[in-house]
A = this chain, B = another copy of it.
Amino acid sequence: MAAARTRYALYYWPTIQGRGEFVRLALEEAGAPYDDIARQHGAGKGVPAMLALMKTARRAPFAPPFLRAGRSLVAQTASILQFLGPRLGLVPAGEAERLWAHQIQLTIADFLIEVHDTHHPIAVSLYYEDQRAEALRRTGHFLKERVPKHLGWLEQAVGTGRYALGARVSYVDLSVFQVVEGMRYAFPRTMKRMERKLPRLVAIHDRVAERPNVAAYLASPRRIAFNEMGIFRRYPELET
């Protein structure tokens, strides 16, 4: 595994977990050396460097997160994880398993868009406060219809093994952890009610949280706290 010596450069917004967190968790669990570029200072670092790369790169990404690995520049969270999985030992070897892992990750990506749009149902360019009425309406449907559908599917998708793809942890499990964490933060009452129907997701969440590298990461300053700038936001008025 020559690639194991690669030092990765992650480009993502410095003040939120957001989609970048799914990549951070993979790098941290694997103990991979990486720079969280936009959170660092100096030449070639910081948000300006990230934005510059989006303008000048030959195959410029549409949006963060994106990852530099040697000569590769990979964007789209699910694609980054598909790329990193084999390199970090975070996905099984078989093509069928890798397809399934990617499919689950892509469905999580769709869910994240729906989570985001609970507080931004009209436009990303508007403040939440300027689309609160629509947010209330959308979130009502989201909590009643979409969360049971998405998390119910995910509960089945992760199967009955120790982890989603069997005995060993994969990037899918790290993402399950993050989804459970995020949903608990944003919609605590809904999750309290719903978690008894999601025992596998909760079990995977707990197992991931206890993994030494993840636990060390979560306790470190590298883990940004949830806040009202990210995907998962706690606006209590939305959860009625």
Contacts and interface: CB of A to CB of B under 8 A. Distances in A.
Contacts of A157: 59-60, 62
B122 A134 contact: yes
A78 B145 CA distance: 25
A102 B125 contact: no
Instruction: Summarize A's interface: helix, strand, loop or mixed.
Output: helix
A103 B74 contact: yes
A117 interface: yes
Nearest to A153: B62
A123 to B, nearest CB: 4
A61 interface: yes
Contacts of A122: 121, 134, 137-138, 141
Given A121-B122, A134-B122, A107 B72 contact: no
Contacts of A83: 99
Given A123-B137, A123-B141, 16 more contacts: A62-B110, A62-B153, A62-B157, A72-B96, A75-B103, A75-B107, A76-B102, A79-B99, A79-B103, A106-B106, A121-B134, A121-B138, A124-B145, A126-B141, A134-B134, A134-B137
21 contacts: A59-B100, A59-B103, A61-B103, A62-B110, A62-B157, A74-B103, A75-B107, A76-B102, A76-B107, A78-B106, A79-B99, A79-B106, A106-B106, A113-B113, A117-B117, A121-B122, A122-B134, A122-B138, A123-B145, A125-B141, A134-B134
